[in-house]
Amino acid sequence: MLCGQAEKTLEGVNALNDFIHNPSKETGERVEVIEEEADEMRRILIDDLLRAFVTSIDREDIFALSRAIDDVVDYAKSTVEEMMLFDVQTDDFLKKMAEGLLNASKDNVCAIKNLKEHPSVCSQHLIRAKKAENFIEHKYREGLVELFKSKDVIKILKTREIYRHLSNAADRAAEAANIISDILVKIT
C-alpha cells in the first residue's frame, strides 16, 4: 500500500511538472484529481493499519512515511492552486524545482520497491532523493536572489510563496527518504 501511495504521489508530482511546463486549467485540475485519489489511498492505508494486528514494518513508521508521502502531493496541489489564483507565471527556477521534486519522488518509489529484497539498491535511491532535495533548495535560493532583483513587490511576494511550496515539498520528500532509511536499518 505504501508503494501504491508513493506511486500515486509520483503521478501527482509528474502532473505538477506538466503544469509548471504548460500551465493551464486542465493540467492544474489533473493535479487536484490525483491529490484527491492520493488522499483516499492514505485513508485506506490508515484504516487497514489501525485494524492490522501485525505488520512487517513498525506501525509508526508506516504512518509517518504515509504522511510524508501525502504531504508531497499536497504541496503539489497547493502550488498549482496558488499559481492559478495569484496568476504566477512559470519560470526556469520553478521548472528546475519541479523536475528535482519529480526525481526525488521517483527515487522514493524505487526505494520503497527495493526496501526488502534489494537493500543496497534502496539505499542508493535514498541518497539520490536526498540529493534532489539539496538541488531544489539550491534552486530555491537562486530563484529568490533573482526574484529580489525585481522592483515589483507584489510579484515577489506571490512568486516567493510558490517557490516556498516547492521547497516544502522537497523537505517532505527528504523526510520520506529519511523514514525509509530508518525502516531499512530496522529490517536489515
**Plot region of 55 (φ>0 → left; ψ -120 to 50 → alpha; else → beta):** beta
Number of residues in the chain: 188
Q: What is the pLDDT of residues 79-88, one digit of tens each?
A: 999 999 999 9
Share of the chain above pLDDT 70, in %: 100
Predicted confidence at residue 188, as pLDDT, reads: 86
Which fold does the domain 2-187 belong to in CATH?
A: Methane Monooxygenase Hydroxylase; Chain G, domain 1 (1.20.58)
Q: How far apart are CA 152 and CA 156, in angstroms?
A: 6
Q: CA 68 → CA 2, 17, 96, distances in Å?
A: 11, 19, 22
Does residue 150 surpass a pLDDT of 90?
yes
Q: What is the pLDDT of residues 25-61, one digit of tens each?
A: 999 999 999 999 999 999 999 999 888 877 788 989 9
Binned at pLDDT 50, 70 and 90, residue 143 comes out as: very high
Neighbours of 142 (CB within 10 A): 15
Predicted confidence at residue 57, as pLDDT, reads: 86
